[in-house]
A and B are shown apart, each in its own frame.
Chain A
Amino acid sequence: MRRIPLGLTLVFLYVPIVVVVVMSFNAGDSPFNWNGFSLKWYGELAADEQIRTGLGNTLIVAAGSTALSTVLGTLLAVGLARHTRSTLLDAIATLPVILPDIVLAIGLLAFYALVQLTLGLYSVLLAHAVFGTAAVAAVVRTRLSTTDPSLEEASRDLGANGFTTFWRVTLPTLAPGVVAGALLAFTLSVDEFVIAFFTAGPQSPTLPIVIYSMVRFGVTPEINALATVLLAVTFTAILAVQRLTRLAGTR
């Protein structure tokens, strides 16, 4: 009895996904009616120039913003956990997580207009690094809270300077958290739509922007195939993050 709501919720969550996945293998041209098994929509997908461009842009933005976020977020996490007790700084580091994306999006658009930065891939990259940094910092701080600060103290007592301690003691113990944080930042960037929509400019659409315009023009089985590929990639990535975070938590 008690488990019925859980069952209902899971049905609610998975039925739409399953329908899209099944229809992606449909031989017919209709996205709704089943006409036998085929992989032709995956072929169409692979040949689609727009999608390839979008994917390329997405990967450039995600790789760049992840690299930036990982460095900034890791330093910030160590600084916040070991060197300050300021609630204001805490708030700044967590704000990107609770701020509605559309607010950050228009804020960044206004900021880019003010500093006269032409919109393009780098403007999206810089924008994505904002929530990426917050995500990395949050994950690394969780990891920090389970590590023993006396290791760092011991290193200092033995005469190591701050840099050596950070590089040889703090960072290696944090490594699983840093990797998990980087993967999270990457996934968030790949999926992000609203901020990219406002900051990309017309010349550099990311994959979600391409999907948005495809869906607006109507439903085609090609989107089903694209959806299935994205689902497979995301599920794999998330399960990998889950494993890493668990490793990060237990060690």
Chain B
Amino acid sequence: MRRTLERFTLLGPGLAYLTALMVVPLVLVLSYSLFQRGRFGGLVYEPTGENFARLVDPLYLDVVLTSVKLAGVTTVLALLLGYPTAYAIAKLPAKWKTVALIALVLPFWTNFLIRTYAWIVLLSPAGLVNDALTGWGLIDEPLQLLYRQPAIVAGLLYAYLPLMVLPLYAALERMDAELLEAAANLGARPARAFFSVTFPLTLPAVVTGCVFVFVPSIGNFVVPELLGGGQTAMVGNLVRDQFLKARDWPFGATLALAVVALLVVLLMIQAWSARRLQGGRDA
């Protein structure tokens, strides 16, 4: 009895709060996607599948595919840059590891808008990148770097790269060095040992890192707007516009749910790859 009361006092307030301001809002978003939009915004409580059908309307499908492409390219680049980075940190002497990790996360903790803004300063026609390129005589006239899709990828990569490096670092750090010695004793060269031992063992972390980069990238509306000049819309921009401009909350909610569904699928893949590795080790 006393124990139950204690439990209630400790868990009750926090869970009640998170239920009211997170679980209920999520259920609302879910239910909105099932209803129709009223003529003047708002909601008509008549069930419809129309919102989901609109996801594959060419007009919106194009935005969805562009988002998947841009977020996908960002994720691949983050992996290509992030894996060797995480590897390098894991091989540093203990003292320098902490320093490198702090150096890696410090920019990540600074205001997201400021970090995006910094790329406008770098990429604009009079910015540092164009200055350097013309200064070295590589180009005659400043390039239009801003307001193009590569600028969006640069901004997203800049924003989320640490989210790739950190799980990879954790996995590489945990890895048993004896496994690599064993591979070497069996005659594997470093490259072979890396692709047969190290990489497969860190695969769950690779998937985790990819989820951590891909999901926020696809939902981001600030980077496409500021660095893409509003010419390329991503799912995040669409969600925002449906809620704040078109006042079509049901369709905005459906788009947001599509992002959540994607997140769930990716997390399931991650859990599956982790379990598979675990199973392989036990066998």
> Which residues in A have some Cβ–Cβ distance to B below 8 Å?
2-6, 8-10, 12-17, 19-20, 23, 30-33, 71-73, 75-76, 78-80, 82-84, 89, 92-93, 95-96, 98-104, 106-111, 114, 126-127, 129-130, 133-134, 137, 161-162, 187, 191, 193-194, 198, 208, 211-212, 215-216, 219, 223-224, 226-227, 230-231, 234-235, 238-239, 242
Contacts and interface: CB of A to CB of B under 8 A. Distances in A.
A104 B118 contact: no
Contact of A23 (B24, B121, B226): B121
Interface stretch (B1-9, B58-66, B272-280): B1-9
B23 A92 contact: yes
A84 B29 contact: no
Contacts of A32: 121, 124, 126-128, 131
A16 B22 contact: no
A5 B26 contact: no
Given A72-B17, A75-B10, A76-B15, A211 B113 contact: yes
Nearest to A18: B118
Contacts of B22: 92, 95-96, 99, 104, 107, 130
Given A76-B10, A130-B18, A20 B118 contact: yes
Contacts of A104: 22, 25
A162 B21 CA distance: 29
A198 B5 CA distance: 38
Contacts of A103: 26, 29, 219, 256, 259-260
Contacts of B147: none
Given A78-B10, A106-B252, A212 B106 contact: no
Nearest to B103: A10
Interface residues of B, number: 81
Contact of B29 (A106, A133, A224): A106
B104 interface: yes
Interface string B100-123: 101111110111111111111110
8 contacts: A9-B165, A73-B14, A76-B13, A96-B22, A98-B267, A133-B14, A194-B221, A230-B110
B236 interface: yes
Nearest to B243: A106
A17 B244 CA distance: 32
A34 to B, nearest CB: 10
Contact of B226 (A20, A134, A198, A215): A215
